[in-house]
Amino acid sequence: MVIKTGARVATPKPETPPAVVSKTFTEPKPAKVAVKSQPVPVVVSQEPVKMEPGIYLDMTNADYHSHKDVISSTMAKTIVQDGGPALLRHNLDKGQEHKKVFDMGTVFHSYTLESTFGAVVELDYENYRTKAAQEERDEVISAGNIPMLAHELTVIKEMRESVMADYEARQIIESAAQIEASVFGELNGVPARCRPDIWGNGFLADLKSDKDASREGFLKSVENYGYYQQDPFYADIVESVTGEKHAFKFIVCESSAPYRVAVYSITEYFRGLGRGMNRRATDLWQQCHESGIWPGHQRREPLDPRPFTEAKILETVEG
């Protein structure tokens, strides 16, 4: 295994990656500036450098996501959907639509785990209903920054307070040896990558925000968003690089008051189902790359009414 930090190369201790997260929390201040329109620079497209298997500590989030030729957990969850290959190809070529929920998640992560607001620019508006607010918001996004209103930042701060007030969640975060290390390895013979939020001694962890952090509520998210794939995807890539097995934990914080927090793991059976889905994902990924064909919807059998529709039709027919 090789740990890579820019031009430096070092051999880590076998039980955990090096580096220590500072436990001192200093209240960061987001930028609060007027954004002026500027000429858009001409950018020459360049292919990212092929990454050798290893752990890269100095890689930025943007650099990590630029490696579109290496499958990630999000790609794996997309490609296994019906019509997923075509959707994934579109997302890779055109980019995904910007969504506010992504911004909230990004800022929640950086503020909670690294005590920084990152690229946030605070805008002095109550909402985005006015044209001026919308224009300034769009300019901030175009500049590669994240627009946030004051009340949105308040929510982020209160979410972090709740996470750190939970004993188990705080212990996981404070015992982290590395935050957001970029790991390039292999999954089922295919080059793959992951970027664990938290890496500790023998475990990986991911920080999630959710509408409902109860057991039943978060289980629905695990099923709907494929978190059961993410767990073994990350653990198996890290094992391919380090030779060590890791447990996986989810720290979940509700996105509205009182911002309740819980910590969960999934069963080995559920992990096994995720590995099956990941195997299907890597098979499809390889097939699509080799053939150059990224198919759309494949389920084309004859359509039958769903029970609700059938009951409604029969009720009408029978008067």
Q: Exposed, middle or buried by CB within 10 Å (0-12, 13-18, 19+), for 287?
A: middle
Terminal C-alpha separation, the chain = 72
More confident residue, 89 or 26: 89
pLDDT tens for 177-211 read: 999 999 999 999 999 999 999 999 999 999 999 99
Q: What average pLDDT does the chain have? A: 87
Does pTM top 0.85 for this prediction?
no
pLDDT of 292 over the 90 cut? yes
Q: In which residue are the tokens 């920054």 written?
A: 145
| Alpha-carbon gap, residue 155 to 160, rounded angstroms | 9
Q: What percent of the chain has pLDDT over 90?
A: 65
| Alpha-carbon gap, residue 163 to 251, rounded angstroms | 8
What residues have CB less than 8 Å from 20, skipping those under 6 apart? Answer: 177
* Weakest mean pLDDT among 63-72, 95-104, 211-220, 264-273: 95-104
| Alpha-carbon gap, residue 317 to 143, rounded angstroms | 59
| Alpha-carbon gap, residue 230 to 273, rounded angstroms | 11
- The backbone torsions φ and ψ at residue 7, rounded to the nearest 5 degrees and listed phi first, read -85, -5
* Dihedral angle over CA of 35, 40, 44, 47, nearest 10: 40
CATH topology assigned to domain 3-298: Lambda Exonuclease; Chain A (3.90.320)
Query: Tell me, what's the pLDDT at 37?
Result: 41
Query: Tell me, what's the pLDDT at 29?
Result: 58
What six digits make up the tokens of 168?
């188990």
* Dihedral angle over CA of 235, 236, 241, 243, nearest 10: 90
Query: Tell me, what's the pLDDT at 125?
Result: 87
- CA 57 from chain centre, in angstroms, equals 17
Q: Helix H segments across 166-265?
A: 167-174, 215-224, 227-242
pLDDT tens for 217-275 read: 999 999 999 999 999 999 999 999 999 999 999 999 999 999 999 999 999 999 999 99
| Alpha-carbon gap, residue 7 to 31, rounded angstroms | 31
Banded pLDDT at 48 (limits 50, 70, 90): low
Q: Which of 145, 146, 182, 205 is nearest to 63 (CA)?
A: 182
Could you tell me the residue ranges of all domains in the chain? 3-298
pLDDT tens for 113-154 read: 988 887 888 888 888 899 988 888 888 888 888 898 989 999
